[in-house]
Structure 1
Amino acid sequence: MIITGDDVDGISTLKASLHHTFEMKDLGSLSYFLDLEVISSDDGIYLSQTKYAFDLLARVGITNSRTESTSLEPNLVGGLVYLTVTRPDFAYPFHVLIQFLLAPRTTHYAAVLRILRYIKGTLFHGLYFSAHSSLSLQAYSDADWAGDPTDRRSTTGYCLFLGDALISWRAKKQTFTARSSTEAEYRALADTTAEVISVRWLLADLGAPQSSPTDVLCDNRSAIQIAHNDVFHERTKHIEIDCHFVRQRILIDAIRLIAVGTLDQTADIFTKAHHPTRFQTLLSKLKLVSLAPT
C-alpha cells in the first residue's frame, strides 16, 4: 500500500491502525513500485523505468548492440507497451506495432529491434513533475489524415500538460476513414475534449479546480471555425455529434480553442513517424528528462 498526503499525524495514525489489523512493514518513502522508479526531492518527482527497460534489453541479448537516434523508422515503427507509462515517445510506435501482433512478419521484428536499440541509448529518460509547476491545464490536439496506407484511416494524437508536466497522452487510429483533413482533425479534437473534461473533473475532486477554460491548441483552422459555428453544412453532417460535443464545451467555458502552427504542434509526435531532427524537437516539447544515477 502507498500512502500519500501532507498530514503527517494523519498518516501516522493510519499506519498504526493498519499495522494493528494487518501484518505489514513500513518501507519508508516510495522509491520503486510496479517497475516504476521514483526519485523525490524538494523540487519535484522524477519517474522512470530504467531497470525495466534494461531487463528487456538483457532478455533479448542486445545490451552491447548499437543504439539508434530515433525510436522509429519513417515507414515502419514499433513499440513496447508498458514503457509508455513513463515514455510517451513510445506511444505512436506501440500504436502501429500492435496492429500486426496477430500476424507479425520479419519487418515487424526488425522494427522491434530498432526500438530496443533506441531504448539502450535512452535508458534514463523519464517524466519530471516539478513541485513549483502551475496547476493550469493545457492540451494539444492533432491528426494525421489518411496516414495508414492499408486502410487510409487517420491517427488521433493528443497530450495534456498540467503546468509544465505531461500528464496524459494518446495515439489512436480513428474508427472511420475521414473524407477530409478537417474531419480527421475534428474527430481528434472531440477525443481531446473528452479527455480534457475528464481531467478537469479529476482535478476538481483533488481540490485543484480549473477557474478558466482549458486551452486546446489545434493546427487546423477549419476545424476551429466549425467548432464555433452552430450551422452545420452538408460537409459536416456526418460528424455532427462531435461538432455539438465540442461546441457545447466551448459555450460553457470548459475549453477554449487556439490555433497553433504545425511546427509548434506538440501532439504531432503521436500521429506519425519523424526523422531524427524533428523527433528530437518534439521530444523536447514533452519535457522528458534524463536522470542518470549518481
Structure 2
Amino acid sequence: MDMKNAFLNGDLKKKVYMKPPPGYPCPSSKVCLLRKTLYGLKPAPREWFDKFSTTICNLGFTYSPHENALFIRKSECGVVLLLLYIDDMIITGDDVDGISDLKASLHCTFEMKYLGSLSYFLGLEVISTDDGIYLSQAKYALDLLGCAGITDSRTKSTLFEPNVRFTPMDGTVLDNPTLYRQLVGGLVYLTITRPDIAYPVHVLSQFLSPPRTTHYAIVLRILRYIKGTLFHGLYFSTHSSLSIQAYSDADWADDPSYRRSTTGFYLFLGDALISWRAKKQTFTARSSTETVYRDFVDTTTEVVSICSRLKYLGAPQSSSTKVFCDNRSCNTLPHRALRLSHKT
C-alpha cells in the first residue's frame, strides 16, 4: 500500500511559523502558523512516524523490539504484520479478515492507495508462487549497468582473479571518483539479493577515498559478472523447515595493508539463505585461533538475534543451532561451543 502525501499528516507539537506563499492574500506584516507538517521541515519525518505509530497501535498493533518500523498484531485468528518504509508499507500475515479490517481502518484515517499483491518494493522484484517466493534485483542491476556505460554483450564468469590482493596504492588515482563511488554504493544495495558478490563489494568499499584505476577495473568486472547472472536471486520455499544452520569462516590476516582478518558467515533457515556477512575484523588478531574465535562470536551474535526474531514472530527454535566452521583452527574450539542452545 502507498500513503499519499505522508508528511502532510504529521501534527506539529511545536509552534512553527512561515512566510505566506506567493499569491496568498495576507498582509505583509503577518506570518502563517503551521498546524501540519510540510515537506522540507526537519521534524516532518518524525511527526509523521509518531502519527502513524499512534494510529496503528490504537488498532491493537505493537512495535517489534527488533525493528521500529515493523508492527505486529497477534490474535486467535492469526498474525498480521505491517512493515513501513516512509510512505510505503507491506501488509502480510495469516489472518485474512484482520488484514481487510486493517486496510479499511487505515483508509478511514489516511488517504491510501492499494497497489495489489506485492511485486516490486524498493528495487526488489518479488515473484510469488504456490511453492515459494523468489526475490531478485534484475531491473536495479540493469540500471547499474547503464550507469557504468556497459552496453555490449561481454560477461565474466568469475568476480576476481585467483589469489588477488588489493592495496590503496594500486594503479593511479581516478580523475573523477564520483562514478566509482556511485557504482560501489549501488553494488552494496545489490547484495540484498546477491550474497555471491558480498565479499568483493566489501573489499572495494575500502577504497572509496581515493579510488584508483585498478579498483575501478574490478568494479567493471563485477558488473560484467552480474550481466551474465542477471536473474540470480534468493528463493524461499514454502516447504522449507524453520531450523537454523550457520556456516562460518575466517581468513587470517588477509588484508595486505593492515593485516586484519576477514569474517564471513551464512545463515540458513531450512533451505533458505536469510543472513550473510563479509566484514573485516576491527582488531588485528595475533593468531589464526584468535581470528576464528572473533569470527565465531560474530556468527553467534547473528544467530541469537535471528532466533530472537523468529521467537517473536511465533516460530521459536525447538533445538540447538549448529554452527559449521570451515577452518583448521576450529579444531581448537571446545566441541560444546559449536552447538548453540536456544531452549532457555
Aligned-pair distance for 1:92?
0.3
Unaligned runs of 5+ in 1: 230-246, 256-294
Q: Aligned match of 1:199 in 280, 285, 306?
A: 306
Over residues 245-286 of structure 1, what are the superposed CA-to-partner deviations in whole Å (9 max), with x where a residue is unaligned? xx5x95x7249xxxxxxxxxxxxxxxxxxxxxxxxxxxxxxx
Tell me the equivalent position of 2:223. 116
SS at match of 2:322: strand
Aligned positions of 1:236-251 closer than 5 A: 247=337
Identity of aligned residues (%): 74
Q: TM-score of the superposition, structure 1-length normalised?
A: 0.76
Aligned positions of 1:164-179 closer than 5 A: 164-179=271-286
Tell me the equivalent position of 1:68. 156
Unaligned runs of 5+ in 2: 1-88, 167-182
Tell me the equivalent position of 1:154. 261
**Bigger CA radius of gyration:** 2
SS at match of 2:90: coil
Q: Aligned match of 2:289 in 182, 188, 193?
A: 182
Q: Runs of 4 or more off by more than 3 Å in structure 1?
A: 76-79, 220-229
C-alpha contact (below 8 Å) 1:142/1:188 kept by paired residues = yes
Tell me the equivalent position of 2:91. 3
C-alpha contact (below 8 Å) 2:244/2:321 kept by paired residues = yes
Tell me the equivalent position of 2:130. 42
Letter of the structure 1 residue corresponding to residue 259 of structure 2: R
Tell me the equivalent position of 1:209. 316
Give the Cα separation in 2 of the matches to 1:31 and 1:53.
Answer: 17
SS at match of 2:141: helix
Change in CA separation of 1:89 and 1:222 when aligned onto 2, cut-off 3 Å: closer
Tell me the equivalent position of 2:147. 59
Give the Cα separation in 1 of the matches to 2:165 and 2:129.
Answer: 40
Give the Cα separation in 2 of the matches to 1:253 and 1:136.
Answer: 12
SS at match of 2:239: coil
Tell me the equivalent position of 1:86. 193
Aligned-pair distance for 1:152?
1.4
C-alpha contact (below 8 Å) 2:289/2:332 kept by paired residues = no
Tell me the equivalent position of 2:239. 132
Tell me the equivalent position of 2:47. none
Aligned-pair distance for 1:86?
0.4
Aligned-pair distance for 1:93?
0.9
Q: Using the TM superposition, name which of 44-53 and 145-154 deviates more.
A: 145-154
C-alpha contact (below 8 Å) 1:137/1:162 kept by paired residues = yes
Aligned positions of 1:271-290 closer than 5 A: none
Aligned-pair distance for 1:76?
5.0
SS at match of 1:4: strand
C-alpha contact (below 8 Å) 1:76/1:111 kept by paired residues = no
Q: Using the TM superposition, name which of 125-134 and 71-80 deviates more.
A: 71-80
Give the Cα separation in 1 of the matches to 2:149 and 2:329.
Answer: 50
SS at match of 2:93: coil
Q: Using the TM superposition, name which of 56-65 and 77-86 deviates more.
A: 77-86
Q: Using the TM superposition, name which of 218-227 and 105-114 deviates more.
A: 218-227
C-alpha contact (below 8 Å) 1:182/1:220 kept by paired residues = no
Give the Cα separation in 1 of the matches to 2:202 and 2:145.
Answer: 21
Aligned-pair distance for 1:179?
1.9
SS at match of 1:146: coil
Tell me the equivalent position of 2:249. 142
After superposition, the CA RMSD in angstroms is 2.0
Residues matched between the structures, number? 236
C-alpha contact (below 8 Å) 1:129/1:165 kept by paired residues = yes
More helix by share: 1
Q: Which protein, 1 or 2, shows the higher relative CO under an 8 Å CA cutoff with sep ≥ 6?
A: 1
Matched, 1:33 2:121: yes
Aligned-pair distance for 1:158?
0.4
Over residues 151-203 of structure 1, what are the superposed CA-to-partner deviations in whole Å (9 max), with x where a residue is unaligned? 21110000100000000000011112222222111110110011101111111
Letter of the structure 2 residue corresponding to residue 11 of structure 1: I
Give the Cα separation in 2 of the matches to 1:222 and 1:146.
Answer: 14
